[in-house]
Amino acid sequence: MKLLVTGGAGFIGSNFIRYWLEKYSKDKIINLDKLTYAGNLSSTRDYSKNNNYSFVKGDITNHKIVSKVMKGVDVVIHFAAESHVDRSILGPGVFIKTNVIGTQVLLDAALINKVKRFHHISTDEVFGSLKLGSKEKFREDTNYDPRSPYSASKAASDHLVRAYFHTYGLNTTITNCSNNYGPYSSPEKMLPRFITNLIDDKEVPVYGDGKNVRDWLFVNDHCRAIDMILDKGKPGETYLLGGQTKELSNLDVVKMLLEIFGKDESYIKFVKDRPGHDRRYAVNWGKIRRELGWKPQYRFDKWLLETVNWYKENEWWWRPLKRKTEKLYAKTGQK
């Protein structure tokens, strides 16, 4: 089988390629990535010379490049996206171009080349925000209510994917996942930023009051879910993915990190909140459990520690990215 992975030099995409090459060693993978701030070839270093892997630098909004790499492809796994909320607040235009137009270009090429399956990676953020303390969780039939330029652009891309299924009969599936964590996640993101700050013995900047709740999914659990969906998922269906049964606030997560590092709460620095900051995300992943037998295997407490250890042991990867990260946050005034 031949797979096209878009955004395969990013966090989840690079981990997915690693997972797939290890499990399906005879399959061929093309990685199409523009190598923006979110894409780093260093994330693919360990398998870059695999004979069944190839890398193409290119923009998913470029029709010529997309048409070329799509030839002979059986399955598309579409990770490529502008995905950082803070960046979307500073400049929403590029999010619309990449996440909406780029997805449409890929869908057109998939139709023309008779791709057997188009799997689209999306986010739980398209559903908006839940109330703190409520028992409500996002479900596949929850109404969309995006509250940032990023989540609005992802919501639009989801609608396009469904439209190509209903209008053109393209075999599509979608996953809306919660916050992923694990190796090769950019230090721009919350957990890696906190971890790398603590490695450097610096304070941890917590937005607002720190009570915002997120669901954390270990990246390998996400990869397993995509694998199951490609194998047994129903065409046109959407599956929600989450990793936790116990809710944790951002402040809870920070305290867990401080305990791992043996530091006290004086390292917590409350900073100006992000505009439109969603209060709570919670994901009901019952559908994929019932229909495909998937459930998360990686406990957050154990794999948070494993993730911390990975960053301690791989400064060669994140250290060059860290300086750019702090410049970004300085621009937002939330450093």
CATH number at residue 271: 3.90.25.10
Which residues are identified as catalytic?
124-125, 150
Domain co-membership, 60 together with 97: yes
Using only the alpha carbons of the chain, give its radius of gyration.
Answer: 19
Domain count, the chain: 2
Q: What is the pLDDT of residues 117-151, one digit of tens each?
A: 999 999 999 999 999 989 999 999 999 999 888 89
Fill in the amino acid letter for 62: N
Contact at 8 Å (CB) between 6 and 106?
A: yes
Inside any domain, residue 285 = no
Residue type for position 248: L
Q: What is the CATH number of the domain that holds 157?
A: 3.40.50.720
In a domain, 6, yes or no: yes
What are the residues whose beta carbons fall under 8 Å from the beta carbon of 174, sequence distance 6 or more?
A: 119, 120, 121, 122, 158, 161, 162, 237, 238, 239
Q: Answer whether residue 57 shows pLDDT above 70.
A: yes
Answer yes or no: do 146 and 49 share one domain.
yes
On whether the CB atoms of residues 83 and 150 are closer than 8 A, the answer is yes
Q: Burial of 102 by CB count in 10 Å (0-12 exposed, 13-18 middle, 19+ buried)?
A: buried
Same domain, 254 and 118: no
What are the beta bridge partners of residue 55? 31
Q: What is the pLDDT of residue 275?
A: 78
DSSP string, 6-47: ETTTSHHHHHHHHHHHHH-TT-EEEEEE---TT--GGGGGGG
For residues 128 and 276, is the Cβ–Cβ distance under 8 A? no
Per-residue pLDDT tens over the stretch 238-291: 999 999 878 999 999 999 999 999 999 999 999 988 777 889 999 999 999 999
Residue 287 covered by a domain: no
Beta bridge partners of 76: 4, 118
Residue 335 lies in a domain: no
Between the alpha carbon of residue 46 and those of residues 15, 30, 41, 147, 332, the distances in Å are 11, 16, 10, 38, 35
114 and 249: one domain? Answer: no
Q: What is the pLDDT, as a whole number, of residue 15?
A: 98
Q: Tell me the percentage of the chain whose pLDDT exceeds 90.
A: 84
Same domain, 233 and 163: yes
Q: Where are the alpha helices (DSSP H) in the chain?
A: 11-23, 63-70, 85-90, 93-96, 102-112, 149-168, 190-199, 219-232, 250-261, 286-292, 300-313, 315-332
**8 A C-beta contact, residue 106 and residue 78:** yes
Kindly list the distances between the CA atom of residue 114 and the CA atoms of 29, 106, 111, 148, 174, in Å, as whole numbers in the listed order: 17, 12, 5, 34, 18
| 58 falls within a domain | yes
Q: Is residue 90 part of a domain?
A: yes
- The string of pLDDT tens digits covering residues 24-55 is 999 999 999 999 877 899 999 999 999 999 99
Q: Say if residue 222 is in the same domain as residue 307.
A: no
- Residue 14 is assigned to a structural domain of this protein: yes
Contact predicate 178/283, CB 8 Å: yes
At position 247, the amino acid (one-letter code) is E
What is the amino acid identity at position 26?
K
Per-residue pLDDT, 182: 98
Q: What is the pTM of this model?
A: 0.94
Residue 187: which residues within 8 A CB-CB, separation 6 or more?
193, 196, 318, 321, 322, 325
CB neighbours of 219 closer than 8 A, spacing ≥ 6? 11, 12, 15, 180, 181, 182, 183, 185
pLDDT tens profile 158-192: 999 999 999 999 999 999 999 999 999 999 899 99
What are the pLDDT digits (tens) for 208-248? 999 999 999 999 999 999 999 999 999 999 999 999 878 99
Domain-embedded: residue 331: no
Domain span at 197: 183-213+245-276+299-326
Burial class (CB within 10 angstroms; exposed 0-12, middle 13-18, buried 19+) of 140 = middle
